[in-house]
């Protein structure tokens, strides 16, 4: 595609910036590409009506971009890409200029739009939450090299590398030197760590180690507890409001099946048994 003229690539694109013409109204912004390519007025109007209904812009077709919100302007950019009726759409961080709430709403809208139209969207983002919630397939890249490719579940539950493990997930996987395998890095997801007292018996198949509480972040439905275990720092996700105080001693436990092992030098996944 790089060697083809843009007009011959047959690819739609949504940019990080909206890239709208401020002097044109919404309708003219959406149909600008069709007009340049010589598509007739009747067909332009027909496509415009269909696409504007799809993205919810019918009431705003006569307005200028400056009269609309960020989310509405992003819908114009989406409509301009969709109206071209190409089978592939490239999206270059299209939500990075929006606030958190609007990003969430637009993620749902873009995903629903893709499923409704059946087009292939190649979506570039630095936000792993966007990747996890929107993608059928994820290609995780690091320094221009593919780190891992697969569906969201595979990258989350079976990371091929320590980088994937520490990048995917919010908060990411805990990676530390395991006391039973000091030459390897062990990874455990925050939600797989339980906090127990010293008198609680060790359940079969579980690891139990001592730690100290550093901080507690209460998020409503759950709490993120930052812990110090020897020279390692861990984060545990526990249900509800955790009322442990900083410097409190605590025991951390997790089942061996939730451990992931990585080579300490290369970072690649190791097929070690618990």
Segment 125-138, tens digit of pLDDT? 999 889 999 999 99
Q: Domain for residue 150, yes or no? A: no
Domain containing 111: what range? 6-136
Q: What is the CATH classification number for the domain harbouring 117?
A: 3.40.50.300
The domain total for the chain is: 2
Same domain, 131 and 55: yes
pLDDT digits (tens, 9 = 90+) for 152-202: 999 999 999 999 999 999 899 999 987 677 778 999 999 999 999 888 888
| DSSP secondary structure string for all residues of 161-229 | BHHHHHHSTTTT-EEEEETTEEEEEEEE-GGG-EEE-TTSPPPTTEEEEEEEEEEEEE-SSEEEEEEEE
- Residue 92 has φ and ψ, to the nearest 5°, of -100, 90
Q: Are the C-beta atoms of residues 259 and 187 closer than 8 Å to each other?
A: yes
Q: Cα–Cα distance between 173 and 159 in angstroms, integer? A: 10
Q: Model's pTM, two decimal places?
A: 0.82
Domain boundary among 87, 118, 136: 136
Name the pairing type of β-strands 232-239 and 222-229: antiparallel
CATH of the domain at 206: 2.40.50.140
Q: Apex CA 38: angle with CA 32 and CA 41, to 5°? A: 75
Q: Are residues 191 and 91 in the same domain?
A: no
37 lies in a domain? Answer: yes
CA distance 188 to 182: 15
28 assigned to some structural domain: yes
Name the domain boundary from 91, 109, 136: 136
Domain identity same for 103 and 10: yes
The DSSP H or E segment spanning 269 is strand 269-270
């Amino acid at each position: 595609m790089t060697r083809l003229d843009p007009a011959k690539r047959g690819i739609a694109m949504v940019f990080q910036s909206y890239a709208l013409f401020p002097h044109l109204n919404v309708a003219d912004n959406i149909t600008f590409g069709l007009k340049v390519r010589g598509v007739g007025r009747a067909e332009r109007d027909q496509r415009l009506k269909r696409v504007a209904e799809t993205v919810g812009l019918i009431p705003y077709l006569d307005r200028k971009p400056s009269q609309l919100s960020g989310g509405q302007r992003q819908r114009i950019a989406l409509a301009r890409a969709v109206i071209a009726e190409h089978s592939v759409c490239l999206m270059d961080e299209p939500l990075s200029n929006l606030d958190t709430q609007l990003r969430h709403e637009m993620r749902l809208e873009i995903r629903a739009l893709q499923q409704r139209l059946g087009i292939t969207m190649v979506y570039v983002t630095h936000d792993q939450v966007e990747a996890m919630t929107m993608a059928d397939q994820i290609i995780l890249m690091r320094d221009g090299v593919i780190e891992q490719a697969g569906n969201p579940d595979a990258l989350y539950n079976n990371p091929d590398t320590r980088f994937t493990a520490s990048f995917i997930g919010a908060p990411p996987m805990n990676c530390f030197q395991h006391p039973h395998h000091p030459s390897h890095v062990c990874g455990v997801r925050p939600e797989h760590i339980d906090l127990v007292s010293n008198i609680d018996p060790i359940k079969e198949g579980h690891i139990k180690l001592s730690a100290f509480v550093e901080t507690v972040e209460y998020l409503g439905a759950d709490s993120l507890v930052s812990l110090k275990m020897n020279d390692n720092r861990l984060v545990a996700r526990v249900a509800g409001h955790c009322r442990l105080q900083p410097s409190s001693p605590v025991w951390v436990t997790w089942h061996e099946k939730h451990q992931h092992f990585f080579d300490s030098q290369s970072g690649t996944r190791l097929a070690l048994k618990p």
